[in-house]
């Protein structure tokens, strides 16, 4: 069996969240995380450059239609998005900033069983996010994980 060439190796390039109110979500991500929509964004979609991965916000009904599924959501989706930070204090600070700007606290910052420190919040549409510090992962100056 032949392996695909490097140019055909699948990579995660885009993460799109379906949202109820695009303007509300833009405001949340700007105020809570300081993220500004990048080139290509318009009144129908917001793109955020995340150092090699594009994070996008798009209205949930047309996104569900595009994926040929129902836009109804309930409970935990089985997916979390994560932000890794260089220390515990940064986790506490960002968590407080997010909650102050409309995020919902799911798990307050706490020591983990795996030796790190983390918390969970939900954005205005209920998408689950983790903020963590992991002692075994290093970040570069731009906040990118250094990983082999």
Q: Where are the domains of the chain?
A: 7-68, 76-148
SS3 content of the chain, % helix, strand, coil (to 5): 25, 30, 45
Contact 62, 16 (CB under 8 A): no
CATH code assigned to 76-148: 3.10.180.10
In the three-class reduction of DSSP (H, G, I as helix; E, B as strand; rest coil), residue 144 is classed as coil
Arithmetic mean of pLDDT, 122-138: 95
What distance in Å separates the CA atoms of residue 18 and residue 36, rounded to the nearest whole number? Answer: 18
DSSP structure string for 59-104: EHHHHHHHTTS-----S--S--EEEE-SSHHHHHHHHHHHHHTT-E
| Residue 37: pLDDT band with limits 50, 70, 90 | very high
CATH code assigned to 7-68: 3.10.180.10
What distance in Å separates the CA atoms of residue 52 and residue 74, rounded to the nearest whole number? Answer: 31
The pLDDT score that the predictor gives to residue 25 is: 98
| Identical topology for domains 7-68 and 76-148 | yes
The pLDDT score that the predictor gives to residue 5 is: 58
Higher pLDDT, 79 or 6: 79
Contacts of 21 (CB under 8 A, 6+ apart): 124
Which run of H or of E encompasses 111? Answer: strand 104-111
pTM of the entire predicted model: 0.88
What distance in Å separates the CA atoms of residue 35 and residue 32, rounded to the nearest whole number? Answer: 8
């Amino acid at each position: 069996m032949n392996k695909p060439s490097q140019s055909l190796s699948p990579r995660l390039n885009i993460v799109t969240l379906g949202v109820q109110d695009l303007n509300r979500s833009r405001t949340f991500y700007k105020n809570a995380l300081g993220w500004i929509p990048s080139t290509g964004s318009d009144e129908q979609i917001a793109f955020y450059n995340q150092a090699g991965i594009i994070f996008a916000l798009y209205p949930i009904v047309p996104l569900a239609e595009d994926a040929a599924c129902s836009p109804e959501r309930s409970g935990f989706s089985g997916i979390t998005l994560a932000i890794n930070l260089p220390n515990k204090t940064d986790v506490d600070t960002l968590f407080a900033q997010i909650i102050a700007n409309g995020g919902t606290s799911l798990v307050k910052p706490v020591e983990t069983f795996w030796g790190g420190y983390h918390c969970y919040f939900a954005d205005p549409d209920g998408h689950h996010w983790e903020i963590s510090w992991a002692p075994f992962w290093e970040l570069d100056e731009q906040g990118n994980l250094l990983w082999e």
